[in-house]
Structure 1
Amino acid sequence: MRYTIGIDVGGTFTDVVGVDAEGREYLAKAASTPHDQSEGVLQGLVNLATAIGLTLSELLETTTRIVHGTTVATNALLERRGARTAMLTTEGHRDVTAMREGLKPARYDLRLPQPAALVPRQLRLPVRERLRPDGGVEIPLDAASLDAAIATLRAQQVESVAICFLHSWAAPKHEHAAAEAVRAALPGVFVTCSADVLPQIKEFERFSTTAVNAYVGPVVSRYLTRLEARLREAGYAQPVFVILSHGGMAPIAEAARLAVGTALSGPAGGVAAALALSRRGLGEQLVTLDMGGTSTDIALIQDGAATLGRGREVGGERIALDSLDIITLGAGGGSIAHLGSGGTLEVGPQSAGARPGPACYGNGGTEPTVTDANLALGYLDAARFLGGARLLDTAAAERAIATLAARLGIDAEATALGIYRLVNARIADGVRVATVRRGVDPRGATLLAFGGAAGLHASAVARDLGMARIAVPLFAAGLSAWGMLQTELRHEIARSVVSAEAMPGDATLAALFDGLEGEARTQLAQWFQGEVVAHRAADLRYGEQVFEITVNLDGVTPDRAGLREAFHARHRALFTYDLPEEEVVLVTARAAASGLLPALPLLPAGAPRPADPIGTRRTLLETGWAELPVHAFDELGTGQKVAGPAIIESATTTVLLLAGDVARMDEGGWLSIELPKGG
């Protein structure tokens, strides 16, 4: 039997999903190991092999593909544990990253301190050179100036160097020459050029993104190299792929080169899963709710497609690469409930993480978390958590909540319910950011709830938003890892355009897009031999606008008329109007090549087999304590219905149905929950 494996490293658990050649799916979990994520990954693989009935070596020898989502780059940025990084930049421009476009997070706060620099000023070294916007040389690269900068790099014992010269997006010759000199003088130092990371106009975004790549590159490279070596030692001989922030994936060497592209690696798997389920009939309008141990990730699927964004900030640093538009909240099962500065109850963003974890884990945690509240309220079964692999300590959870309740001056039951209500309200607000603030009414979408904790909160969140339908996959706890197996190899390339005219001529446009597509296909051919699909897009704006809109050009003739018509249509869709009489300016041309991998097989739907509840559980709802029937998630037959209030649980996830909810097991493998009209 052959297997494909997806691995998602979360803040609390590492999820490992295996799919065999007949479509059977297996899920295993292991505690995440933040000090070295590869340890948790290997333990997860051991647990997966055990679940299948194989040894680790037998599993890996029969595995054809491993796809991995990692938070190494994200953690390095958030915790400031990246490499000692320097920057070489055009003389007179060393403070581009410090000026940050003249903006600050709170523009009217006069006491707001300057953000801590990723690359300190003494390591931002000027080099005498200058290119013009058309790529012509204004000042040749000065060898003496470069040698002096390299001498400083050596003396400062830097681990990584970002090379960011003015207008290098138009011609990379000076950056590449400087990179060769640095590599020759300082072997072993990680070197990255802005022309290779983000060859686009807007100096701050290009410099910032390249600095982040240099800062996290050595950390990500060391981790991926170590992981690959451990997998090889364990018997795996096939490629390892890493899912990137835009939802595609790349081999380890490319992910290490463009490490900044892994900053949103983990959450991208959940969006990929949502797209796959959308294609399988779940619907074209989805709001994803991925609630794990540390955070909740929310994204929007419209008309069966995910939204890409640009200019995201992670750890206060601008990353201008394409990434899936995901809203991340510090609201997970491990989020800590505490007394806020105003003496009121607050939840998160601090998390108990994997160690010590919630108080009920018995690892020394003493602060109450969302998971502790769910256990105290009766929503979780202390003896069946993770299929009984981990017994939860209800008394420890209640003690932690009672301590907080005493500080609040209310009883423990009210405190536990308050924690539950508050985290639900925070998540609902996050959904509004992902939908309402983007001009989308969430009431017409299905709330796709996954991650280990989402099933307990989905109904309350959906009612707050006026949503009428929820879907919870049977594999909810490992859906992000499963989604990584549904994506494709992808290489993107972009090039900014400077023209005397707002829009280059038709022949120039055709040559530009053909050239970019050819470059993307050539790069992808180094990793992949198979069917390739190309996509084209462009960043366009009206002449007087100061921002661009990315317009999909698939199926559009790449000439002036085609680009203008596509831009007007996209502008109307986003802002309800367009200005046909205004000139349209092309800022950046884009192309991507996607290598299509074999689709995972589907098991045929099982026959209806109504199953009785497996027991009852005393649970505290808004109306008081009640004995709720408990159903086994994996025993529900296709078409079987369960009416709320009730609990549906599997080894790795629990779903709470509130009064009026009606859940039906869909043949696609998910629980479809209809909410009563009016909430």
Structure 2
Amino acid sequence: MTYTIGIDVGGTFTDIVVSGDGGGTITAKSTTTPADQSDGVLEGIALAAQRLGLTTTDLLGRASRIVHGTTVATNALLEGKTAPAGMLTTAGHRDVIEMREGLKPDRYNLRMAPPPPLVPRRLRLPVTERVRADGTVEVPLDTASLDTAIDQLERGGVQTVAICFLHAWRNPGHEHQAAEAVRRRLPGAYVTTSFDVLPQIKEFERFSTTIANAAVGPVIQHYLGRLGSRLKEAGFAGELLVILSHGGVASVAEATRLAAGTALSGPAGGVAAAVALSRTGLAPDIIGFDMGGTSTDIAVVRGGQPGLSGDKSVATARIALPSLDIVTLGAGGGSIGHLDRSGLLAVGPQSAGADPGPACYGQGGQGATVTDANLVLGYLDAANFLGGRRRLDGDAATGVVAALAAELGIETTAAASGIHRLVNSRMADGVRVATVRRGVDPRGYTLLAFGGAAGLHVTAVAEALGIARVVVPLAASVLSAWGMLNTDLRIELSRSLGQTGGIDTAALQAAFAAMEDEGRARLAWFEGDVVLRPSADMRYGEQVFEIPVALDDVDWRSGTLAADIAERFHAAHERLYTYALRGQDVVVVNARLSAIGRLPAIAAAASVPSAAAAAPKGTRRIYLDGWVTVPVFDFPALGAGQAIAGPAIIESDTTTVLLRPDDTARMDPRGWLDMAISLPD
């Protein structure tokens, strides 16, 4: 049998999903190893092999494809552990990344210090050259100034260089000349140009994205190189792919070249899973609610399609590459409860992470985390955590929660309940940011809960939002890894056109033809089918910001091509903002093309046969506005169609679901728990 393997490295656990070509899926979890994530990856693969009755070498020898989601780039940016970077730029423009369009993250905070740039000013070096906005060369590249700048970079000890010249989106000649010179003089350096990363107008976004790419490039290169070598030594001879922020996967070479595109690599797998489940009939409109050990990621899928954004920030870095529109909160099972400056209870964003982890892990954690509070409240079975591979320390959890309770002057149970309720409130607010603030009414959506911690919180979050339906898959704790195996190869390309006063169809067709050639060339190694999806960022002539418009079904040979494209923009604008101005000129700002290589589908995450209703495996005392005794059901033992009335606990080795009073749940044959939430009238 041949296998495909999905790997999702989270803040606390590394999730493994193995799917066989003859059907069937098995899962495994290992502890994430922040110092070297490949250690946790290899441990997880070894655990999965044991479950299959194979050795690690046997499993990897039979694996045709591994798809990996990693937080290496994200962690490097958040922790300030990026590679020493330098920048070459047009003389007079070295401070673009500090001016940041004149805006601060909190623009009304007068005392807010400016975010520190990823490249210090002494290593942002000017080069004499100038290209005009129409692509003509006004000042040729001065090789003497270029050599002087490279000398300074060499003395500065940089490991990576970003090259960002003015208007290179129109004419990249000078950038490519400079890149050749840097590679010749600094042969060990990682070199990246703005044209190769983001060939679009708007200097700050282009410069910032390129610098972020340079800063994390060596980190990603080292990690993926080490992981690839270790997998090969262990017997793997198949394709290693990496999921990128836009939800598609790419080769290691592509992920290394576009390293900033891995900044949302892990969460992207969860959105891919939501899209895949939508196609199987779960629902067309889904809110993905992924609560792990460190954070909660929220994404909206409308009509089976996820939203994309070109305006994402990680730490202080603006990354304008196309990425899934995900709202991330510092709220997870490892989030620490503490007193804020006002003496009030707060939860997160500080997290216990994987090391030392929550106090109940017995690894020296000192903070009262959400997981500790859930154990104190009786929601977790201390003896059945990770299927019994790790026993939770109830005394340690009670101790840290009691210490926080003493600071607050309340009882231990009240403090634990406060942590639980407060993190629920924070996550409900996060869903509102992803929906209500963007004109979406969440009440008509299905809330899809996954990640190891989501099941204990999702019903309360749904009730707070007025959402009547919640779905928790049997494979909830590893659903992101499963989603990585249900997406395709994807290359995102863009070209800025600089058009004004209407749509220049000849220029647009030329841009798409060039991108098609590039997309096919970058997927030349792939032997499967390649699909091309064109789109454009468009606006009215007097507007500042543009909106994305799909152009999949456009007839490019039509005599009314410009009018057809304009009408698609009017319709999209009307859907978003309720009006269209059909008498105004329409401007195409960026042409975009998605080159998609179709990968084979894998088995469903789980399927449930019909069976007699499973009886509760026991009871447990839990806290729900008072201590009550509730039945406890074995999640994998539930038969298709079995219904359960709350309050109840439904648990597996890696997932625990809290069903609240008056809520009901039914086991769907496709492998998920379908819950109806009791909402107030």
TM (normalized to structure 1)? Answer: 0.98
**Relative to structure 1, is the Cα distance of residues 511 and 495 closer, same or farther in structure 2, using a 3 angstrom cutoff?**
same
Paired residue secondary structure (2:280): helix
Q: Counterpart of 1:474?
A: 474
What is the rounded CA distance, in whole Å, between the counterparts of 2:345 and 2:167 in structure 1? Answer: 51
1:404 aligns with 404
In the alignment, which residue of structure 1 is the partner of 2:661? 659
Q: Which amino acid counterpart does residue 614 of structure 1 have in structure 2?
A: K
What SS does structure 2 have at the residue aligned with 1:591? strand
Residue matched to 1:209:
209
User: Tell me, what secondary structure is at the counterpart of 1:525?
Assistant: coil
2:529 matched to which residue of 1?
Answer: 531
Give the secondary-structure state (helix, strand or coil) at the position aligned to 2:11: coil
CA contact (8 A) 2:608 2:639 kept: no
Q: Which residue of 1 aligns with 2:199?
A: 199
Does residue 406 of structure 2 align to residue 417 of structure 1? no
Which deviates the most, 512-521 or 271-280? Answer: 512-521
Matched, 1:389 2:392: no
Separation in 1, partners of 2:475, 2:387:
14
Which residue of the other structure, out of 578, 581, 588, is the alignment partner of 1:579? 581
CA distance in 1, matches of 2:96, 2:53: 56
Q: Deviations over 1:352-402 (max 9, x none)?
A: 001110010000112110000000000000000111110000011001000
Aligned to 2:543: 545
1:604 Cα shift?
Answer: 6.2
CA contact (8 A) 2:293 2:353 kept: yes
Match of 2:648 in 1: 646
**Where does 1:226-625 land on structure 2 (aligned, <5 Å)?**
226-499=226-499, 501-504=501-504, 506-526=505-525, 528-558=526-556, 559-602=561-604, 605-622=608-625, 624-625=626-627
Structure 1, residues 30-61: CA drift from partner, whole Å, max 9, x if none?
Answer: 11011110011011111111111111001001
- Alignment-mate amino acid for residue 524 of structure 2: A
Q: 8 Å contact 1:557–1:563 — kept in the other structure?
A: no
Q: Which residue of 2 aligns with 1:43?
A: 43
Within the alignment, does 1:80 sit opposite 2:89 as a pair?
Answer: no
Amino acid at match of 1:66: I
1 CA distance for matches of 2:546 and 2:612?
54
The alignment status of 1:172 with 2:175, answered yes or no, reads no
Structure 1 range deviating more: 211-220 or 512-521? 512-521
CA–CA separation in structure 2 for the residues paired with 1:508 and 1:34 = 48
- The whole-number CA distance in structure 2 between the counterparts of 1:255 and 1:23 is 29
Is the 2:289–2:448 contact (alpha carbons within 8 Å) kept by the matching residues of 1? yes
Match of 1:2 in 2: 2
Cα distance in 2 for partners of 1:326, 1:653 equals 23
In 2, Cα distance between the equivalents of 1:376 and 1:610? 30
Q: Give the aligned residue type for 2:216.
A: V
Q: SS in structure 2 opposite 1:282? A: coil
**Alignment coverage as a number of residue pairs:** 676
Partner of 2:106: 106
8 Å CA contact 1:287–1:301 kept in 2: the answer is yes
Distance in 1 of aligned mates of 2:162 and 2:601: 39
Amino acid at match of 1:94: R
Residue by residue over 1:181-228, the C-alpha shift from the partner in whole angstroms, topping out at 9 and shown as x without a partner, is 010011111100001000000000000000000000000100000000
Contact in 1 for aligned 2:540/2:584 (Cα 8 Å): yes
Deviation at 1:496, TM superposition (A): 0.3
- C-alpha displacement at 1:500, in angstroms? 5.7
Quick one: which amino acid aligns to residue 623 of structure 2?
Answer: L
Structure 1 631/500 Cα, relative in aligned 2: closer, same or farther at 3 Å?
closer
Letter of the structure 2 residue corresponding to residue 134 of structure 1: D
Q: Which moved more, 1:606-615 or 1:643-652?
A: 606-615
Partner residue of 2:34? 34
- Look up the match of 2:633: 631
Q: Matched residues in 1 for 2:364 and 2:520: separation? A: 52
Secondary structure at the counterpart of residue 440 of structure 1: coil
1:281-304 Cα offsets, whole Å, 9 max, x none, are: 100011111000000000001111
Return the TM-score normalized by structure 2. Answer: 0.98
- Compute the RMSD of aligned alpha carbons: 1.1
Match of 2:66 in 1: 66
Name the structure 2 match of 1:674.
Answer: 676
Q: Aligned partners of 1:530, 1:193: CA distance in 2, in Å?
A: 30
> Match for 1:658: what amino acid?
R
| Residues in 2 aligned to 1:263 and 1:293: alpha-carbon distance in whole angstroms | 18
Q: 2:63 touches 2:238 (CA, 8 Å); kept in 1?
A: yes
Deviation at 1:510, TM superposition (A): 2.8
Letter aligned with residue 155 of structure 1: R
SS at match of 1:554: coil
* One-letter amino acid matched to 2:477: A
Once the two structures are overlaid, the 10-residue window that deviates more, 80-89 or 598-607, is 598-607
Q: Deviations over 1:135-156 (max 9, x none)?
A: 1110000011001001111111
Instruction: Measure the CA separation in 1 of the matches of 2:339 and 2:174.
Output: 55
More deviation in 592-601 or 386-395?
592-601
| Rounded Cα–Cα distance in structure 1 between residues aligned with 2:641 and 2:12 | 34
What 5-or-longer segments of structure 2 have no aligned partner?
A: none
